[in-house]
Amino acid sequence: MAIAEVPRFVRADGPDKVTGSGRYAADINLTGQLVAKFRYAGVSHARITKLDTSAASAMPGVFAVLTAADVPDVIYSPVVPDRRLFAKDVVRFEGELVAAVAAVDAATAQAAADAIVVEYEDLPIVDDLEAAMADGSPLVHQDWESYAVTGDTVQRPNVASFSSIEKGDVDAAMANADHVVMSRYVADGCHALPIEPRAVVAQWEGEKVTIWTSTQVPFDARAGVCETLQMPASKVRVIVPHLGGGFGGKCGFHFEAHVAALAKAARRPVKLVFSRQEEMVAPDRRREGMIVDITSGVKADGTLVARSGWIAIDNGAYTADAAFFPQLAAMHVAGPYAMEAVKIEASLVYTNHQPSGSVRAPTAPQACWALESHTDELAAMVGMDPVEFRRANIVDEGIEGAAGQVYGEIGLRRCLDAAVEASAYGDDLPDNEAVGVAISWWPSFPGPSGAYIKIDSDGSGMVITGAQECGTGSVMTLRMLAAKELGMEPEDFQLVYQDTSAAPYDTGATGSQTLLNNGRAVVEGAREVAAQLRDLAADRLEAAPDDIVLASGKAHVSGSPDKAVSIVELAGVAAEGEMLIGKGSGTPPEYPSVSAVCVGDQGLAGWAGPQFACHAVHVRLDRETGVVRVLDVSAAHDSGTIINPVAAHGQVEGGIMMGVGQALTEGTQYGDDAKQRNTGLLEYKLQTAADAPTIHTEFIEIPDPNAGPYGAKGLAEAPNVPTAAAIANGVAKLVGMPVRQLPMTAERVWMTSEGMSS
Amino acid sequence: MTTSYELDVNGVTYPVNADQGKNLLSVIRENVGLTGTKEGCDDCECGACMVLLDGQPVNSCSYLAVQAQGRQVTTIEGVMDGPEMHALQRNLLEAGGVQCGFCTPGMIMSAKALLERDERPELDAARIGLSGNLCRCTGYAKILSAVEATAVELNT
């Protein structure tokens, strides 16, 4: 490890979190604060024929009631702008906002929201992906052709974004295959489900608004407020107190503008706190349901020659950030395998469901589950061991992937070897136990990011960063990087973060990008300060700046540790004149080019800093009930250099547990009315400590020169990708065939084992 | 209907004026003014609101505050031993068992109750003892390690 001199230290925000003194957004209360409540559509597709807020507005204690008529008429969302803050004319899913109320207390606000009169004329419900794509289907968006989509985005009726990846002649290659295997897999949607329901507090002072909010992306949240309320960024400040988890569910811009608009209209601070049920229904960040058809051609010797795929992804009623999902899903159905020809088409299909959006590795766990289940079917077809089949067909250094990217040194093969070796794969096991294996990949997302670094007159350091901490450990890692560059200790630095008025731009806690992008910015800023320290020390020590080494809180002459001056002393000198201040924004790694033809290209067919993983999962099946228990997970990950082992292990363990949930219990159930039926934690089952498997993690550390600091790649999403797939392959061994629906609930497993279609 | 009563929270007696139907969680957060106890579901499912009532873990979202009269309520703010962290708090930090931290207060309350009724819980007993507290970040591994480390530390 390049930076393992500091093996572990306590996270900066840790003491606040274990003692209860840490403030989350719902813990903030302001003098004169009102309570916000929303009026939701409550129906999945209907035309608004009457909307009357007069009774609500007249209620004592009600300070503001807002509808679409009270805010600028802005159609927003990145890439595919297709929604407004409040429904105008038509509601398209049950959790769509029709109106918002601010009142003196929660009971009054709720009573006022209930008193708003809304009448509807039903419109046909669109909730079947294949039917929605058929000619003549009712449309979710009548005006879809008028939306100002950006880039190369391709749209069709009821398809918000279509992408295809094509390389070589699939038909010819299939004709040359000895076996052709076709599979269909269907995944239910599910939820990010951070334990903290979101909260927003907004307060105006003159023309400026300050918003405290539980977002993973403060700068995106600010941009959303600016766009929808038509304000300059200089008038909007977004602050994130401690954030109680996100997993993508708090990415994007959600309700900050609604609360800000209420506070402006009410001339009072306004606070919104979601219930769990609202958290499940209203945000446009649900993990997408998906249908995956895969056909692969293999030679008798097990060589994969061609793959075609058709993918339908449930977009829900609005597109949020999901325009890139089809291309990403197509990449995951192609998978980290070499083949001469590939053609995969993917459509993001409008329905009257809650909108989908980026949840931890969007599209990937479902697509990987389909692909890797299919891969075990291919291995069985040619009579090969599934692990050997993978060894024969995976991408590796110098080998071209499905989209035509040629990889440098990568750790996929070593991940496969390590995870299988650490597991009970191949051991004699009881007849109700098996080990399933799956491999996966995931891109890193290069982007702009910034940080300032300074050292104060007493020698204490400060990292001022746009980065956001959602639990991943950037509060540890960014300080480690600054300390490493400056020869100081991580504890010497305080972190100023999660405030759009304090720090330069960062994308936020999204796309596993904090270390990759903000890490580079912090290193660059710290190196600027290091150069300033070396200049000062060179003067003092009568040496050349290039001969000054920063270590152990001192600047010393190279080769002469005794010829030294402390950084504290240098900081005191600097404070009298040219101060120790650095800035960094780093140069993002480049996206590699690909040879595949990409229709509806979203820039994600060539991956910078590709991450690789293999999970081998030991499962036990209760044959009488279909209940699957995950006993043990062996995980191996290539995420480049591991900077912070404590945080890295935490990401893998948490990602695996989320994957176990998606594999076995977590799935949204819909009624015929397209409304969710399981919006409480009693009906929507998360995994508990009692379900927790033993997890063995190994990191295959191959520094990636086209990635983050010291060759680090992202890690927060990758562990979530192959878990469900590996569990599925274990279950398929025990049941005798794959369970073709996700989650693989006890009922579905039992029905499959009994030969019934689930 | 508003009613007046006294509540013993972390050894301090607080006068409370609140609606009779107000739950213990809301009284602790709004009337007593301690926000370390969190609301995650209002449905007794997530455990973020766990407090101790005479040492027994209770989901405070589903417990009437008036019923806690005459009993000792312990919240996360009452776990520290003066200026020193409780071993559970320290071990959770050192093990890396805290990520977003939202489940942490409730988790600590359940773990404290567990260790008070079972000094050296077996791993399965610890898993079951914490199964009323949902954590989305950690996969529970490092939390269970911290509980085990605490059991060892407190009993050697």
pLDDT in tens, A427-439: 999 999 999 999 9
Tell me the shortest Cα–Cα distance from B74 to chain A, in angstroms: 12
Q: Which pair of structure tokens corresponds to residue A646?
A: 């404590």
Look over chain A and give the mean of its residue pLDDT values, rounded to a whole number.
96
Question: pLDDT category, A587, cuts 50, 70, 90?
Answer: confident
CB contact under 8 A, B130 and A689: yes
pLDDT per residue over A653-685, tens digit each? 999 999 999 999 999 999 999 999 999 999 999
Which among A245, A471, A695 is the nearest to B139, CB-wise?
A: A695
Q: What is the pLDDT of residue A2?
A: 37
Q: For residue A691, give the chain B residue with the closest CA.
A: B127
Confirm if B143 and B135 have CB atoms less than 8 A apart: yes
Q: Does B125 touch chain A (CB under 8 A)?
A: no
Q: Does B93 touch chain A (CB under 8 A)?
A: yes
Residue numbers of B between 103 and 122 with CB closer than 8 Å to A: 103-105, 108
Q: Which of B69, B72, B58 is nearest to B25 (CA)?
A: B58
CB contact under 8 A, B139 and A24: no
Determine the distance from the C-alpha atom of residue A327 to the mean position of all C-alpha atoms in its chain, rounded to a whole number.
16
Question: Among A299-303, A409-413, A466-470, where is mean pLDDT lowest?
Answer: A466-470
Q: Does B100 touch chain A (CB under 8 A)?
A: yes
Q: What is the pLDDT of residue B15?
A: 98
Tell me the shortest Cα–Cα distance from A258 to chain B, in angstroms: 22
Which among A470, A646, A680 is the nearest to B96, CB-wise?
A: A646
CB contact under 8 A, A195 and B100: yes
Mutate to test the interface with A, among B38, B99, B107 (most CBs of A within 10 A): B99
Per-residue pLDDT averaged across A599-609, rounded? 95
In this structure, how many other beta carbons lie within 10 angstroms of the beta carbon of residue A42?
15
Q: Which pair of structure tokens corresponds to residue A288?
A: 């997408």
Q: What pTM was computed for the model?
A: 0.97
Q: List, as one string, the DSSP characters of A617-682.
A: EEEEEETTTTEEEEEEEEEEEE-BS-S-HHHHHHHHHHHHHHHHHHHHT----B-TTS-BS--STT
d(CA A467, CA A499): 9
Q: How many helices (H) and strands (E) does chain B have?
A: 5, 5
pLDDT per residue over A441-470, tens digit each? 999 999 999 999 999 999 999 999 999 999
Q: Is the pLDDT of residue A8 over 80?
A: no
Tell me the shortest Cα–Cα distance from B156 to chain A, in angstroms: 24
* Percent of chain A scoring above 70 in pLDDT: 99
Per-residue pLDDT averaged across A272-283, rounded? 97
> Which amino acid type is present at position A168?
G
pLDDT per residue over B33-92, tens digit each? 999 999 999 889 999 999 999 999 999 999 999 999 999 999 999 999 889 999 999 999
Structural domains of chain B ordered from first start? 2-78 (3.10.20.30), 87-154 (1.10.150.120)
Domain covering A26-123+198-273, topology: Aldehyde Oxidoreductase; domain 3 (3.90.1170)
Tell me the shortest Cα–Cα distance from A582 to chain B, in angstroms: 29
Residue A496, helix vs strand vs coil: strand
CB contact under 8 A, A20 and B76: yes
CB contact under 8 A, B102 and A196: yes
The kind and range of the H/E element at A432 are: none
Determine the distance from the C-alpha atom of residue A556 to the mean position of all C-alpha atoms in its chain, rounded to a whole number.
44
CB contact under 8 A, B38 and A196: yes
Q: Which pair of structure tokens corresponds to residue B45?
A: 């499912």
CB contact under 8 A, B85 and A245: no
Q: Is the pLDDT of residue A197 over 70?
A: yes
Question: pLDDT category, A756, cuts 50, 70, 90?
Answer: confident
Q: List, as one string, the DSSP characters of A313-365.
A: EEEESS-TTGGGHHHHHHHHHH-SB--SEEEEEEEEEE-SSPPB---SSTTHH
The kind and range of the H/E element at B154 are: helix B141-154
Which among B46, B80, B98 is the nearest to A17, CB-wise?
A: B98
Question: Which CA distances in Å does A401 have to A180, A583, A604, A612?
Answer: 20, 38, 13, 13
pLDDT per residue over A529-559, tens digit each? 999 999 999 999 999 999 999 999 999 999 9
CB contact under 8 A, A690 and B131: yes
Residue numbers of B between 24 and 53 with CB closer than 8 Å to A: 29, 34-43, 45-46, 48
Confirm if A35 and A271 have CB atoms less than 8 A apart: yes
Tell me the shortest Cα–Cα distance from B130 to chain A, in angstroms: 6
CB contact under 8 A, B79 and A19: yes
Asked whether this chain's domains A26-123+198-273 and A361-442+607-753 adopt the same fold, the reply is no
pLDDT per residue over A560-577, tens digit each? 999 999 999 999 999 999
Question: Which CA distances in Å does A595 have to A34, A592, A612?
Answer: 56, 10, 21
Tell me the shortest Cα–Cα distance from A19 to chain B, in angstroms: 6
The kind and range of the H/E element at B149 are: helix B141-154
Residues of A in contact with B138 (CB under 8 A): 650, 653-654, 657
Per-residue pLDDT averaged across A273-285, rounded? 97
Q: Is the pLDDT of residue A199 over 90?
A: yes
Residues of A in contact with B139 (CB under 8 A): 650, 653-658, 692, 695
Confirm if A290 and A366 have CB atoms less than 8 A apart: yes
Q: For residue A658, give the chain B residue with the closest CA.
A: B136
* Percent of chain A scoring above 90 in pLDDT: 96
3-state secondary structure B62-120: HCEHHHHCCCEEECHHHCCECCECCHHHHHHHHHCCCCCCCCHHHHHHHHHHHHHHCCC
pLDDT per residue over A79-104, tens digit each? 999 999 999 999 999 999 999 999 99
Residues of A in contact with B92 (CB under 8 A): 18
Question: Which CA distances in Å does A26 have to A100, A241, A273, B11?
Answer: 18, 9, 6, 26
Q: What is the pLDDT of residue A758?
A: 57
Per-residue pLDDT averaged across A725-732, rounded? 98
Q: For residue A273, give the chain B residue with the closest CA.
A: B39
CB contact under 8 A, A195 and B103: yes
Residues of B in contact with A20 (CB under 8 A): 34-37, 75-77, 79, 105
Q: For residue A694, give the chain B residue with the closest CA.
A: B141
Pick the CATH number of A449-584 from 3.30.70.1290, 3.30.365.10, 1.20.120.1760, 3.30.465.10: 3.30.365.10
CB contact under 8 A, B127 and A242: no
Q: Is the pLDDT of residue A517 over 80?
A: yes
Domain ranges of chain A: 26-123+198-273, 361-442+607-753, 449-584
The kind and range of the H/E element at A57 are: helix A54-57
pLDDT per residue over A202-250, tens digit each? 999 999 999 999 999 999 999 999 999 999 999 999 999 999 999 999 9
Question: pLDDT category, A733, cuts 50, 70, 90?
Answer: very high
Which among A21, A195, A472 is the nearest to B102, CB-wise?
A: A195
Per-residue pLDDT averaged across B148-154, rounded? 97
Residue A477, helix vs strand vs coil: helix
Mutate to test the interface with A, among B2, B137, B145 (most CBs of A within 10 A): B137
Tell me the shortest Cα–Cα distance from A685 to chain B, in angstroms: 10
Q: What is the pLDDT of residue A9?
A: 63
CATH code: domain A361-442+607-753 is: 3.30.365.10
d(CA A409, CA A610): 11
d(CA B11, CA A329): 56
Tell me the shortest Cα–Cα distance from B142 to chain A, in angstroms: 8
Q: What is the pLDDT of residue A475?
A: 86
Mutate to test the interface with B, among A17, A201, A681, A691 (most CBs of B within 10 A): A17
CB contact under 8 A, A275 and B46: no
pLDDT per residue over A116-149, tens digit each? 999 999 999 999 999 999 999 999 999 999 999 9
Q: What is the pLDDT of residue B133?
A: 98
Q: Does B80 touch chain A (CB under 8 A)?
A: yes
Q: For residue A656, give the chain B residue with the closest CA.
A: B139
CB contact under 8 A, A19 and B46: no
Q: What is the DSSP letter of B17?
A: E
Q: Does B147 touch chain A (CB under 8 A)?
A: no
